[in-house]
Amino acid sequence: MIAHTCPHCGAKLEIPDEYVGQRGGCKQCGGKFTVPAKPKKKPPPSERQLEYLRALGATEPELRGIDVAAASKLINDYKTKQRLECPECRQMIDSDSNYCMWCGEQVNDDLDTYQVLVKCRSKEMQQAVMQMLEDTGDFGNIADILEKAQRALGDD
């Protein structure tokens, strides 16, 4: 049996192997399509790729079940992305992560700035918040910072 998704309505279909290459119709929507061949199983990564990924800091859960193409992409990702060690659990994580994916520890000190700026309604408010942070160097409570910026702009 071939597991196939109807290209018209997205219905999940099970099609007998003998229909490969033939025109067929979806039982849900009646849409016509050619029955595809069974997807070929992708080859696993070489032992050399796995060793290199481990040396780059890849974890065993990341390597479990990947194929050769995914391993190549992961190597490129690791080579172009900075990694850092979580101070709490010592697992390797992306340097642009806000939280450790393993233990949930906040690892990015700029997260509060980001949270504040996302809540700003306008560029002017973002600029006012950034100016306040620059002037005071104190984040305090996110709600307080937004309230002060709104008052400074006369934006209620």
- Mind listing the pLDDT tens digit for each residue in 18-71? 999 999 899 999 999 999 888 778 889 999 999 988 888 788 888 998 999 999
What's the pLDDT score for residue 50? 92
pLDDT at 139 > cutoff 60: no
Residue scoring higher pLDDT (143 or 60):
60
Cα separation, 152 vs 90, in Å, equals 43
Per-residue b or e along 81-109, where b marks 16 or more CB atoms closer than 10 Å to that residue's CB: eeeeebeeeeebbeeeeeebeeeeeebbe
Q: Which two tokens stand for residue 94?
A: 């992306």
What's the pLDDT score for residue 38? 80
Contacts of 11 (CB under 8 A, 6+ apart): 5, 26, 27, 28, 29
Cα separation, 31 vs 28, in Å, equals 8
What's the pLDDT score for residue 45? 92
Please compute the mean of the pLDDT values over residues 90-104 and round it to a whole number: 76
Cα separation, 85 vs 87, in Å, equals 6
pTM: 0.35
